[in-house]
């Protein structure tokens, strides 16, 4: 089904499932957009099984849980074939926050100063220890 006003192809979840089953395509839905990733299966860094288990389904949560990079998001645009029919649109799944990013820290880096302080403390104590133990001999 096509949206005549905008020229964008619209598919229902049933049509996505049919494409996957009847035409043997790896078609998935991510945040209300339909992607045919059949040609990408062999190149997918997470392996082909990750894509195949989501085939014909809404893979939004699985996609966002992994924390895909901005490069991956840009690359997937080339595989978009349609949008989900407006009657079946769901609220988009938000991307998982980047590891180490703490919004409550006010952007100050949280505990990052400890990562620097501990090694400095260890090195300082080692220098003091060796100065006192080797100076008496």
Number of domains in the chain: 2
pLDDT of residue 81: 95
pLDDT above 70: residue 107: no
Structural domain span for residue 84: 2-88
pLDDT in tens, 27-58: 999 999 999 999 998 888 888 888 888 899 99
Does the residue 24 lie in any domain?
A: yes
Residues 46, 78: one domain? yes
* CB neighbour burial string for 28-42, b if at least 16 within 10 angstroms, e if fewer: bbbbbbbbbbbebee
User: Are residue 11 and residue 52 in the same domain, yes or no?
Assistant: yes
Are 60 and 122 in the same domain? Answer: no
Q: Which residues contact 13 (CB under 8 A, 6 or more apart)?
A: 29, 57, 58, 84, 88
**Confidence band for 102, pLDDT divided at 50, 70 and 90:** very low
Rounded to two decimals, the pTM is 0.65
pLDDT given at position 103: 42
Q: Residue 66: its pLDDT value, please?
A: 84
């Amino acid at each position: 089904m096509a949206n005549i006003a905008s020229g964008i192809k619209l598919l229902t979840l049933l049509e996505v499932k049919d494409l996957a089953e009847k035409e043997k395509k790896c078609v998935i839905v991510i945040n209300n957009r339909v992607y045919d990733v059949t040609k990408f299966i062999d190149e997918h860094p997470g392996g082909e099984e990750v894509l195949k288990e989501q085939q014909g389904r809404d893979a939004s949560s699985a996609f966002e849980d992994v924390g895909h990079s901005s490069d991956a998001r840009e690359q997937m645009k080339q595989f978009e074939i349609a949008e989900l029919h407006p009657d079946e649109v769901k609220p988009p799944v938000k991307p998982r926050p980047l590891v180490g990013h703490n919004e409550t820290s006010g952007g100050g880096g949280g505990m990052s100063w400890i990562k620097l302080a501990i090694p400095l403390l260890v090195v300082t104590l080692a220098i003091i220890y060796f100065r006192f133990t080797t100076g008496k001999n």
